[in-house]
Amino acid sequence: MMKHLIYVTEDDENIRNLICVALESFGYTTCAFETAEEALEAVRGVEGSLPSLFVFDWMLPGIDGMAAVAKLKASPDTRKIPVMMLTAKDSELDVVAGLDGGADDYMTKPFGILEFSARIRNLLKRFGEEKKEDKRLAVGDISIDLEKREVKNKGEAVELTLKEYELLCYLMENTNRVVTREELLDRIWGYDYDGETRTLDMHIKTLRQKLHDAGAQIKTVRGVGYRFLREKEAGK
């Protein structure tokens, strides 16, 4: 089962570490940042993993949390990713400003870890259900019915194992973005990358074979990971 990746941006190291430890204890994977600039750069970067959810402190050095959220909500790649805003600002006007500014939920410091984790679960569930409104993925000749878990190539059914299916879905959801080996192993298998394992390589190989000509859309980015290309860009 794929684990949710959560980006945590908080300039207070103690609070940042506490949040990450708590989230990881509830089964999530975290990536921590001290500034909004670092988090935004990770999203833009080749090796940046698109998370399932963002946690932002409002009062950050440099770009503050609200400005960062505005940038994320303005981008088609990240606008549908939920955002939890954390802040010491606790007036009703501050809460309204935070929600109107793009935050999907808002908690004031200090906060309880159990309530925090419950709110995270609810955000992920709510946005996961909204995503299901689009029940089909299609890139080139490959289409996936997400509700029926059916994969077709030029209209013909393709039989995949569970891991092959999850791998193809994740690559297609991130079409044209380089997805690192570490990210794939963590999101699909749920463990950190081990340079000696060949699990991912074997699954990519069999997936390419089962997709026939369309398998060329899965491009190896040497030393980094894989990228799923649109049909017209795949070439050979």
Residue that the structure tokens 């649109």 belong to: 230
Question: Does residue 94 sit in the same domain as residue 146?
Answer: no
Question: Does residue 15 sit in the same domain as residue 124?
Answer: yes
Question: Does residue 159 sit in the same domain as residue 220?
Answer: yes
Contact between 215 and 154 under an 8 Å Cβ cutoff? The reply is no
Work out whether strand 218-221 and strand 179-180 pair parallel, antiparallel, or are unpaired. Answer: unpaired
Positions in the chain short of pLDDT 50? 1, 46-48, 193, 195, 232, 235-236
Question: Does residue 116 sit in the same domain as residue 157?
Answer: no
Question: Does residue 12 sit in the same domain as residue 109?
Answer: yes
Residue 30 has which token pair?
């975290």
Question: Does residue 152 sit in the same domain as residue 84?
Answer: no
> What pLDDT is recorded for position 46?
40
Residue 82, preceding bond cis, omega within 30 degrees? Answer: no
Determine the residue type at 130. Answer: E
| Domain count for the chain | 2
Contact between 22 and 8 under an 8 Å Cβ cutoff? The reply is no
> What pLDDT is recorded for position 125?
87
**Which whole-number Å values give the CA distances from 56 to 31, 128, 199, 201, 215, in the listed order?**
12, 20, 35, 35, 39
Q: How far apart are CA 205 and CA 86, in angstroms?
A: 43
Question: Does residue 191 sit in the same domain as residue 126?
Answer: no
Question: Does residue 12 sit in the same domain as residue 88?
Answer: yes
> What pLDDT is recorded for position 236?
42
> What pLDDT is recorded for position 208?
96
Question: Does residue 100 sit in the same domain as residue 161?
Answer: no
Assign residue 43 the CATH number of its domain.
3.40.50.2300
Which pTM was predicted? 0.57
> What pLDDT is recorded for position 129?
60
Question: Does residue 27 sit in the same domain as residue 127?
Answer: yes
> What pLDDT is recorded for position 128?
76
> What pLDDT is recorded for position 234?
53
- Domain with 176, as residue range(s), is 136-234
Which of 84, 102, 131 marks a domain boundary?
131
Task: Identify the helix (H) or strand (E) that includes residue 144.
Answer: strand 142-145
> What pLDDT is recorded for position 90?
80
